[in-house]
Every structure is written in C-alpha cells, then in structure tokens.
Amino acid sequence: MQNELKVVSNATCTFCGCVCDDIELTVEGTHITKAKNACVLGKAWFLNHQGGDGPAARIRGKESTVEEAVEEAARILVNARFPIIYGLSDTTCEAQRIAVAIADWVGASVDTTTSVCHGPSGMAFQGVGEITCSLGEVRNRADLVIFWGSNPAESHPRHWGRYSTMPKGLFVPNGRKDRTVVLVDVRRTKSAPAADIFLQIKPRKDFEVLWMLRALVKGIPIQESDLADTGVTLEQLQNLVDKMKACKFGVLFFGMGLSMTRGKHLNVEAALALARDLNAFTRFYANPMRGHGNVTGADNVVSWQTGYPFGVNLGRGYPRFNPGEFTTTDTLARKEADAAMIIASDPMGNFSQEAREHLQGIPFIALDTKETSTTRAAAVSFTTATYGINVPGTVYRMDDVPIPLRPAFESPYPSDEKILHALEKKVLQLLREKLQAAN
C-alpha cells in the first residue's frame, strides 16, 4: 500500500481565485510529487503542501480529543453574547454552509475574508450593479483586456494563459495577437512587460482617473489641468477611450489596488460605472480579481442563506447587513465580540493591532490546516484536512463558476465540514438544554 503511485487528472488548484481545474497530480502515498499544468503558486500549493503535524485538536494549547474540543467550542459559542464567525474563503462550500448555519443558531455575526479584500467591490456592486461575465467569454471574445490595480503575474499567474490574454478563442482565433492588453497601476509591476500599454498613475488617484475616463466616454470635454497629479495625460486617456469604444468586447479586471485604497467602494463604483457606460457603444465588462480559492463561494453561500454577501449579523434572530458595523475588523477593534470562530484564516497574522489585541483576549475557536498565529492563540483549535488536496467538495472560481474538487490523498485529520457538522449538532443540543432549563 505505501507509496502507491496514483495519478489524479482534472484536479483543481484552490490556491488563488483562478481555480484551475486542469491539474494532473502524481501522488505517491501522502505526497504529491508532480503537479502538471500548475503555475509556480500552484506547484508550491501541491508540492510543498504541509499538512499539520500536531494533534487534531487542542484546548488552551493542550492536546485533546476532537469530541472534547467540539464540546468546548460549542460551549464557547452558545455562552457568548456577541460571537463572530470569520474566515471561510479557504474551505469548501459544504463547510461554509454549515458555518453559516451555526452562526444562525447562536445568533453570531458571520463575515468572510471578503470584507478585507473585495468587500468594497461588493458594496460598489450594490450601488451601481455590475456588467460581468464568465472567464470563457473573455477567452472567446475579448479583444481589449485591461487590468487595473492588479498584478496577475504574481497573484494569478495562469490568468493570462488560461483566460484573458493568451488563449485562442472563437472570435479571437489568433489569441494574444488579436488582443490589446492594458495595465494600470501605481507600480511598474512584474505584469507591466506583458501589457501593450502601461499607464502608471499616482497613488490614490484611481477614482479621479476612472471618473475622467467616464467623462471622455460620454463626450464631456476635460482639460489637461483636470488631470493634475494623476500621473497620466489627456492624450493617454483619450487614446484609451478610443480603444475602449472601438473594441468589440472589452473587459476591465480590477484588483485590490482599487478596493484596498482610500475611496475603496467609490473607486470600484467608478470602474463598474465606466464598464457599464461603455455598453452604449460596445460590449464591455468588469470583473474582480478574487484572491482566495473559494472566497467567491463564501460570498455565494452567505448570500443565498442570508440574502447578504458578508458582514451579516444574526444576533436578532434574522440577518442584518452593515459593513463597518458587522464586519470583523470593526467588531474586534471596537471590542464588541466576546467570542469567535475563525475558519481557515489568520486574523492574528494580518489584522490591525487593535483587532488582534481584542481577539487575543476573548475565547475563540480556530480551524486551520496548519499552525498559524491564530491557531496558537485560540482557546480551541482544530487541525483540519486541506480542501482540494485531501477533501472533496465545491468551490467557486472568481467568475462564480462552481467547480468540484478531486482530492489526491486522505488526511489523518478531519475536514472542516466534518468538524463543523459535529459542532452544529453539539450547539443545537446545548441550545435545547438551555431552552429546557429556562422553561
């Protein structure tokens, strides 16, 4: 049995939002030795995969059984007055669905890493809508591809090759030759050499430049002086507008350069409105460059179960939505949350100091595939199996296309789904007991 050689075809890489599902894995026992078709990030994801090596569960740092840990976790959540559940972008939809259920039963806030990546894009979408498409539409039709505030060469290495700039498609039979590629960024990133046109704008001037583009598209005259301090000239913008109007199918891929910079949802609204306006002339789309493997699934699951995409509070017994109020950075930094469950995310390693300090002071549960600052500080921590490598399930690509996972080998650790399923059962039991005691 040991080191039996196995090939898994059509495996799905969940490292980034590209969710490439054409990976061919060679598996020797519990090691993946080859990951054909994977990019540098995907190869690292599969080949350097380090499943945890500690115990499956810990309570306050001490090894425990999974059952004991589930019971303690349930107690923490049920006894809390303002519990929060956060993370969720690096696990399957099946696990996400149970996590939202638990949030519902205990009256928690449920929020995903969307709130600190494209949450503002979600708010912009609520403002103006979004003209979007699946990535295959881009592959088959796009003759103008713009990346704005995104560095796919480093963050989504196969985006160009699989979806956006290189592939030959139905109406772009010559692939890259049939396309014009534009990059807009404040840095001359590693993506710049691949673009036909690079516009280097000044930091924090995205909104201004996008708004001027909207004006030019609508034929509203602007002056060179309107562009002061933006880093671009009127000629550059007019040239871009001419290309946008003349293309047959244009697409604007926007990254966190818009959503994380001052202005946030307003920056993204400007991008979405620009793409929308261009539909008076041609077909034009705007798509977010989503980061984590299943952050798009998290948005979908939270939306279909609660009606809102992230930052949802269930404390009153029904969903309420308010970014800034129920989003995790805020509930932690304002010291409102009194317990938490963190699933597949590391806020102790990437949140603001204030938020980290408060999280450290409250009892919280962490589920992760390996040790992080967050699992180290958790009252109850679970080591779980890795989705896509050990665990089957569903993930959504950045364009909302759902894709199944084909695991390579079994992990000695349980999946998030399994832990959460047991936790939901325990939570319901404790809630029933509480109700009976109250009566």
Partner 1 sequence: MNKNDEELFVLISGRSTRQGTSLNESKFSKEYIEETGVVQICPEDMARLGLVAGDIVCLRADQRSINIPCVASKEKELPSGLLFMAYGDWSSRLMGSDTHGTGMPNSKGTDVFLSKVCSSKTD
Partner 2 sequence: MSITFIKGGKVYDPVNGVNGEIRDIWIKDGKIIPPPVDPAESPQKVIDATGRIIMPGGVDMHCHIAGPKVNLARKMRPEDKRHAPHVSRTSLTRSGTIGSVPSTFATGYLYAGLGYTTAFDAAVPPLSARHAHEELQDTPIIDKGFFLLLGNNHYALQQIAANDPEKLRSFTSWLLESAKGYAIKLVNPGGVEVWKSGGAKICEIDEDIGHFKCTPRQIIKGLSQTAMDIGLPHPVHIHCNNLGIPGNWRTTLSTMDALEGRRAHLTHIQFHSYGGEPDDQGKFCSKVQELSDFVNSHPEVTVDVGQVLFGETTSMTGDGPLGYYLHKVTGRKWTSADTEMEAGCGIVPMVYKEKSFVNALQWAIGLEWYLLVKDPWQIAMSTDHPNGGSFLAYPEIIQLLMDRNYRREVLKRVHPRVLERSCLKDLDREYTLNEIAIITRAGPARMLGLKNKGHLGVGADGDITIYNESSNILAMFELPFMVIKYGKVVVEKSEIRLQVPGNTLHVSPSFDDGLVGDIRKWFESYYTIQFENYPVTADYLSGGGTMIPCSKK
Residues that bind partner 1 (CB under 8 A): 15-16, 40-41, 43-45, 48-50, 111, 115-117, 119-120, 123, 151, 153-155, 157, 186-190, 200, 203-204, 256-257, 259-262, 264-265, 291, 310-311, 323-325, 327-330, 332-333, 346, 349-355, 370-373
Q: Answer whether 195's CB lies under 8 Å from 253's CB.
A: no
Cβ at position 306, least distance to partner 1 in Å = 15
What minimum distance in Å lies between the beta carbon of 42 and partner 2?
15
Reduce the DSSP state of residue 271 to 3 states and report it: helix
- Does 46 help bind partner 2 (rule: CB under 8 A)? no
Q: What are the backbone dihedrals phi and psi of residue 52, each rounded to the nearest 5 degrees, phi first?
A: -60, 160
Q: In this chain, which of 42, 83, 87, 122 binds partner 2, going by CB under 8 A?
A: 122
Exposure string for 66-94, b = 16+ CB within 10 A, e = fewer: beebbbbbbbbbbebebbbbbbbbbbbbb
Phi/psi for 434 (5° steps) reads: -60, -45
Residues 140-179 binding partner 2 (CB under 8 A) are 140-141, 162-163, 169-171
Facing residues of 34 across strands?
A: 26
163 binds, among partner 1, partner 2, none (CB under 5 to 8 A by kind): partner 2
Query: Sheet containing 23-28: which strands, arranged edge to edge?
Result: 5-11, 23-28, 31-36
Nearest of 305, 267, 289, 357 to residue 88 by alpha carbon: 305
Q: How far is the CB of 207 from partner 2 (least distance, A)?
A: 19
Nearest to 77 by CA among 357, 342, 371: 342
Q: Which is nearer to partner 1, 159 or 421 (CB)?
A: 159
Provide the minimum distance between the beta carbon of 308 and partner 2 in the complex, in angstroms, as a whole number. 6
Q: How far is the CB of 176 from partner 1 (least distance, A)?
A: 22
* 1 CB neighbour count, 10 Å cutoff: 4
Closest CA to 252 of 362, 388, 338, 150: 150
Binding to partner 2 by residue 401, rule CB under 8 A?
yes
- Contact partners, residue 233, CB within 8 Å, separation at least 6: 224, 227
- Cβ proximity to partner 2: between 249 and 387 the closer is 249
Residue 404's binding partner out of partner 1, partner 2, none, with CB under 5 to 8 Å set by partner kind: partner 2
Nearer to partner 2, 149 or 311 (CB): 311
Q: Could you tell me whether strands 197-200 and 57-59 are parallel, antiparallel, or unpaired per DSSP bridges?
A: unpaired
**Contact criterion met (CB below 8 Å) for 356 and 53:** no
**Residue 104 binds partner 2 (CB under 8 A):** yes
Residue closer to partner 1 (CB basis): 397 or 421: 397
Our finding on whether 41 is near partner 2 (CB under 8 A) is no
Nearer to partner 1, 186 or 222 (CB): 186
Give the one entry of partner 2, partner 1, none that residue 315 binds, where binding means its C-beta sits below a cut-off of 5 to 8 angstroms depending on kind.
none
Question: Which residues make Cβ contacts (< 8 Å) with residue 115, sequence separation at least 6?
Answer: 310, 311, 323, 327, 328, 329
**In this structure, are strands 109-112 and 31-36 parallel, antiparallel, or unpaired?**
unpaired
DSSP reduced 3-state for 19: coil
d(CA 385, CA 398): 23
| Chain centre distance of CA 88 | 9
Contact between 352 and partner 2 (CB under 8 A)?
no
Q: Which is nearer to partner 2, 139 or 356 (CB)?
A: 139
Enter the tokens of residue 232.
Answer: 């671009």
Binding mask 190-229 for partner 2 (x = CB under 8 A): ----------------------------------------
Pattern of binders to partner 2 over 244-283, x per CB under 8 A? ----xx--------------------------x--x--xx
Does 319 contact partner 2 by CB under 8 A?
yes
- Which lies closer to partner 1 via its Cβ, residue 52 or residue 169? 52
Residues that bind partner 2 (CB under 8 A): 9-10, 12, 21-22, 93, 97, 101, 104-105, 107, 122, 125-137, 139-141, 162-163, 169-171, 248-249, 276, 279, 282-283, 285, 299-301, 303-309, 314, 317-319, 321, 394, 396-397, 400-404, 431-432, 435
